[in-house]
Amino acid sequence: MATQEKQSNRSSTEPASEELLDRKSLNLPNLITLSRLILAFILFAMIYYEGLWISAAILFLVAASTDALDGYLARKYGQVTVLGRILDPFVDKIIICGAFVFLLERRLDSGITAWIVIIIIGREMFVTSLRSFLERQGIDFSARWSGKIKMVLQCAAVTASLLSLSPEPVFENTEFRMIRDVLIWSAVLVTVYSGLIYVYRAKVLLHEKVQG
């Protein structure tokens, strides 16, 4: 999913209008983004009421796939809008962070702990604040490869966690749970690493601005 890191992709082309809501905001990319938000709440309900774990995993993957699609369409057809630049990273945070929070309720079975959720959400909040500060200074703080890898691993971790809750024999075994745990902790480590990379990059950019 293009997290706020992906905001750079949709903001690489300036929106044609500076109005938050206008006719151009009602375009296909923004409708896809809104559909992802709806899918997110359906996913949360499925996790909360339990039972449909494989379906929940499929739904999550479908929602995640729309993240790349809306940004691509917005850039390809010149439909980048102010609404899209705000809504897209917001929805990304909702579905990823929300999935981890709801899986936390199934802590003993899902492999998700409170510390993992704090690290994931804390990193997202910090980088979002850092990006907002730098962009107010007129500094470009676009995505880097570490942020993209982080998102891929987080999606893989959520999918594996959902599948591990299924009673199907292929998922309800020690081997699959080991794979799940490796994906979860890989996502955590890369989340921390990417956050540190962004901090270092922010330091360099601010130093260059002062020196320049």
Is the per-residue pLDDT at 2 higher than 50?
no
The top-level CATH class assigned to 4-211 is mainly alpha
Question: By C-alpha distance, which of 99, 144, 97, 104 is closest to 122?
Answer: 97
d(CA 151, CA 187): 8
Domain ranges of the chain: 4-211
pTM: 0.85
Question: By C-alpha distance, which of 30, 135, 136 is closest to 85?
Answer: 30
Buried b / exposed e along 65-89 (16+ C-beta atoms within 10 A): ebbeebbebbbeeebbbbbbbebbb
pLDDT, tens digit, for every residue of 32-68? 999 999 999 999 999 999 889 999 999 999 999 888 8
Query: 5 pLDDT band (50/70/90 cuts)?
Result: very low
Q: Which residue has the higher pLDDT, 140 or 201?
A: 201
pLDDT, tens digit, for every residue of 71-101? 888 888 888 888 888 888 899 999 999 999 9
pLDDT, tens digit, for every residue of 114-165? 999 999 999 999 998 998 898 888 887 777 788 889 999 999 999 999 999 9
Place of tokens 């774990």: 53
Query: 198 pLDDT band (50/70/90 cuts)?
Result: very high
Question: By C-alpha distance, which of 136, 118, 52, 124 is closest to 93?
Answer: 124
Question: By C-alpha distance, which of 28, 64, 50 is closest to 158?
Answer: 64
Pair of tokens at residue 191: 């989340």
Residue 18's pLDDT is what? Answer: 54
